[in-house]
Amino acid sequence: MADAFNPEHGKRLEDPARLEALPQAAVVGLLRLEGDETVVDYGAGTGIYTVAVAAALPQGRVLAVEALSRLTELLREKITPELADRLVVVETGDNVVPLDDGEADRVVMVDVLHHLYDQPEALEEVARVLRPGGLFVVLDWGDKERPVGPPPGHVLGLAAVREIVTEMGLGVTEAHEPGELLPYHVVVVAAKP
Ligand SMILES: C[S@@+](CC[C@H](N)C(=O)[O-])C[C@H]1O[C@@H](n2cnc3c(N)ncnc32)[C@H](O)[C@@H]1O
């Protein structure tokens, strides 16, 4: 069973070593945004990546879906007046994203899939909200020894991420081991047919 995220570890999400390993610009770049998209940041945490995505969406919006109120409080503190009309906080542990079928252009999970890969309702919700051609972008810790992040035995690794995404009915367009795009993360990008 997947490990639940410990709310006591909220501040660790903003550890400079973590941000060095996974810069905000790398996450935004993988989304390939034009600036008018609807993006879901599933498991947004304290919003350290959400705000960077919102900044790249002058005509779009990002929904920050997060189960833990202690983390959404920290996220809300990051919403500047400039970002207020393009960043929507959705506090829910029910895996219900308030979008119609096919309304999202992108769904991104940053270090989240290893927490919820065994919640079919979460994965079904991702597939439901994506539009045809929309992208699911997964970044997660690789299952190799590294100086930051959870122990390798607690995460999934590239083969497992690929399998999960394929079972969701999505087509993998890009897959990278740690050391290719990012030092410690696997990256999988998949499109909805
Ligand atoms: C390791 S944190 C990553 C947070 C953020 N994506 C980041 O990279 O800074 C994982 C987050 O996923 C959230 N999460 C896990 N399962 C969830 C679910 N089913 N619905 C909403 N949030 C969930 C946790 O509460 C936690 O904030």
CATH numbers and ranges of domains, the chain:
7-191 (3.40.50.150)
According to the model, what pLDDT value does residue 91 have? Answer: 97
Contact status, residue 22 vs residue 110, Cβ threshold 8 Å: yes
pTM over 0.95: yes
Ligand 1, residues at Cβ distance < 6 Å: 5, 13, 43-45, 48-49, 65-68, 71, 93, 95, 110-112, 115-116, 119, 122
Residue-wise pLDDT for 117-153, tens only, equals 999 999 999 999 999 999 999 999 999 999 999 999 9
Structure confidence at residue 8 (pLDDT) = 76
Backbone angles phi, psi at 24, to 5 degrees: -55, -40
Phi, psi of 29 (to 5 degrees): -60, -40
Tell me which residues of the chain have a pLDDT lower than 50. none
